[in-house]
Amino acid sequence: MTQEISTLDKIKQQIDENNIILYMKGSPKFPSCGFSAQAVQVLSACGKAFAYVDILQNPDIRSELPKFANWPTFPQLWVNGELIGGCDILVEMYQRGELQSLLDSVDTPE
């Protein structure tokens, strides 16, 4: 009998396995909301590869992640296992050059 992995374990595993991961609506090529589109835009401008999870395709993650993260909205950017924040925070950090510095300090596969 195979054991179902819980949604919470799935989220933890995704965050552990990806140094930079964005939980968003849609995909980087086809974002489904303006906030996700903006988040992808600033991340892409920093030139670092990042993983993503489309929460519209994963309703279990969509409902569990806000509780786990203690953050109610999407998108959510996680770097090195830590929640960085949502769209507004990412845009502010990007404008101050902090997002670039943060992402540059992360080891990611090229």
Domain 7-104: give its CATH architecture.
3-Layer(aba) Sandwich (3.40)
pLDDT 10s digits, 64-83: 999 999 999 999 999 999 99
Residues making up the annotated binding site are 25, 33, 62, 74, 87-88
CA dist., res. 30 & res. 18, Å (int): 21
Longest CA–CA separation in the chain, Å: 52
pLDDT 10s digits, 36-52: 999 999 999 999 999 99
User: Residue ranges per domain, the chain?
Assistant: 7-104
Rounded average pLDDT over 11-15:
97
Residues making up the annotated binding site for [2Fe-2S] cluster are 33
Q: Beta partners for 42?
A: none
Residues making up the annotated binding site for glutathione are 25, 62, 74, 87-88
User: DSSP letter string over 16-39?
Assistant: HH-SEEEEESB-SSSBSSHHHHHH
